[in-house]
């Protein structure tokens, strides 16, 4: 390929990435809200729901021209929309320049999955099955079509390696998750001072606010027998008042002393808390399936590396957050973005890393 067509293809890769990024934004908004990705077909403003005409929906350009505001209602459009388009465009370009075209196309699919998973997880602490299970299937199919992904010389061998790596990813995290539950089954949080809290039901879920920290009720309960204890100085359940008590919550009911209330009959609980004990999930189930998808595309070494690099990155970010005083006690921390980070590093630098590492292990 001569130089000018190589440059032309690079431009095409970037523009394609920006356009795909724009589509990924739709998925990031709609998938966790269970709105269909192609219905309504047109993008709409999240604030005023006005449909966005195509000339205001050009990737990268429109956000800049409109200065991050909706053209009909003037509401701010999150920087995330621009950021996702730019990130996807740059990653598409980098993949195009790094890899032979067959692998590049497979990695374009993979990177799209990583981007959606990362941004959904950051906002909602979940990774939808369409992304994780769909991604695992996509990885196995891609490995069959492009056996080089698995360093295999036959399609069948690539397919088997991909499926085994997906299984490995799932099983490893499953062990960590179950082990973590035994090691830190629950987490005690002593509040600095008696802190007001509210629990407000809306539909099947509730907002749970302690001091400044707001969270969704459903985030705390992964299993039926999980319980959350709230040591209160005073509490009010709808119109009933209580003094110093421990509220013992299960996902569907709360017990105070000998009394029990079904949460779907309660509208609001409020009071002042001293201490809470939360059932702690090291990871959500989505992370297991997400790592399976990573394995299906990157193979077993990619699985191990993503866990390693993801844990290192997660610890650094977690420690920094603690140091700058942003208290983190939420039951779930998103792990998906860190796994995705590890996967991207592996994709580009994995071979070099292995080479470098084995120089130390077995110097020749
Ligand atoms: Zn609007």
Q: What pLDDT is attached to residue 364?
A: 53
Mean predicted confidence (pLDDT) in 120-148: 93
Query: How far is ligand 1, taken at its centre, from the CA of residue 77, in Å?
Result: 9
Query: How far is ligand 1, taken at its centre, from the CA of residue 170, in Å?
Result: 41
Mean predicted confidence (pLDDT) in 218-223: 71
Query: How far is ligand 1, taken at its centre, from the CA of residue 214, in Å?
Result: 26
Q: What pLDDT is attached to residue 281?
A: 55
In whole angstroms, give the CA distance from residue 156 to residue 177: 32
The larger pLDDT score, comparing residue 296 to residue 281, is at 296
In whole angstroms, give the CA distance from residue 86 to residue 17: 8
* Distance linking the first and last C-alpha atoms of the chain: 38
Q: What pLDDT is attached to residue 224?
A: 65
Query: How far is ligand 1, taken at its centre, from the CA of residue 50, in Å?
Result: 6
Q: Is the model's pLDDT at 330 over the cut of 50?
A: no
Judge whether 309 and 156 are in contact, CB under 8 Å.
no
3-class secondary structure, 272: strand
Q: Of 242, 240, 212, give the one whose Cα is nearest residue 230.
A: 242
Q: What angle do CA 94, 96, 101 make, to 5 degrees?
A: 155
Q: What pLDDT is attached to residue 331?
A: 42
Mean predicted confidence (pLDDT) in 166-171: 96
Query: How far is ligand 1, taken at its centre, from the CA of residue 52, in Å?
Result: 9
Query: How far is ligand 1, taken at its centre, from the CA of residue 45, in Å?
Result: 5
**Half-sphere exposure (Cβ direction) of 249: Cα atoms closer than 13 Å:** 22
Mean pLDDT, the chain, whole residue set = 87
Q: What pLDDT is attached to residue 54?
A: 84
Query: How far is ligand 1, taken at its centre, from the CA of residue 49, in Å?
Result: 6
Query: How far is ligand 1, taken at its centre, from the CA of residue 92, in Å?
Result: 30
Q: What pLDDT is attached to residue 329?
A: 46
Q: For 180-184, 185-189, 293-297, 313-317, which range has the lowest pLDDT when averaged over its residues?
A: 180-184
Query: How far is ligand 1, taken at its centre, from the CA of residue 325, in Å?
Result: 35
Query: How far is ligand 1, taken at its centre, from the CA of residue 204, in Å?
Result: 28
Query: How far is ligand 1, taken at its centre, from the CA of residue 323, in Å?
Result: 38
Query: How far is ligand 1, taken at its centre, from the CA of residue 63, in Å?
Result: 13
């Amino acid at each position: 390929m001569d130089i000018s067509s190589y440059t032309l293809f690079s431009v095409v890769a970037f523009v394609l990435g920006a356009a795909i990024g724009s589509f990924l934004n739709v998925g990031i908004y709609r998938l966790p809200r269970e709105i269909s990705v192609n219905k309504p077909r047109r993008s709409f403003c999240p604030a005023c729901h006005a449909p966005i005409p195509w000339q205001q929906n050009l990737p990268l350009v429109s956000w800049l021209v409109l200065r991050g505001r909706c053209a009909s209602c003037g509401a701010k459009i999150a920087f995330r929309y621009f950021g996702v388009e730019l990130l996807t465009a740059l990653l598409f370009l980098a993949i195009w320049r790094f890899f032979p075209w067959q692998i590049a196309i497979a990695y374009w699919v993979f990177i799209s999955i990583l981007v959606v998973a990362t941004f959904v997880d950051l906002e909602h602490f979940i990774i939808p099955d369409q992304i994780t299970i769909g991604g695992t299937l996509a990885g196995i199919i891609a490995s069959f079509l492009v056996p080089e992904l698995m360093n295999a010389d036959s399609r069948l061998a690539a397919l088997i390696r991909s499926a085994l790596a997906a299984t490995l990813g799932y099983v490893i995290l499953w062990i960590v998750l179950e082990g973590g539950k035994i090691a830190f089954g629950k987490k005690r949080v002593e509040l600095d001072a008696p802190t007001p809290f509210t629990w407000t039901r809306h539909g099947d879920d509730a907002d749970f606010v302690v001091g400044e920290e707001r969270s969704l009720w459903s985030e705390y309960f992964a299993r039926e027998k999980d319980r959350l204890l709230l040591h209160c100085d005073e509490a009010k359940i709808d119109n009933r008042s209580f003094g110093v008590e421990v509220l013992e919550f299960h996902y569907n009911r709360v017990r105070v002393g000998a009394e029990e209330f079904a949460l779907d009959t309660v509208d609001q609980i409020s009071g002042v808390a001293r201490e809470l004990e939360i059932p702690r999930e090291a990871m959500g189930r989505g992370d297991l399936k997400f790592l399976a998808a990573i394995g299906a595309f990157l193979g077993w070494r990619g699985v191990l590396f993503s866990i390693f690099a993801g844990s290192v990155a997660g610890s650094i970010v977690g420690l920094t957050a603690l140091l700058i005083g942003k208290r983190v006690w939420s039951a779930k921390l998103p792990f998906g973005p860190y796994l995705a980070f590890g996967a991207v590093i592996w994709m580009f630098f994995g071979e070099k890393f292995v080479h470098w590492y084995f120089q130390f292990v077995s110097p020749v």
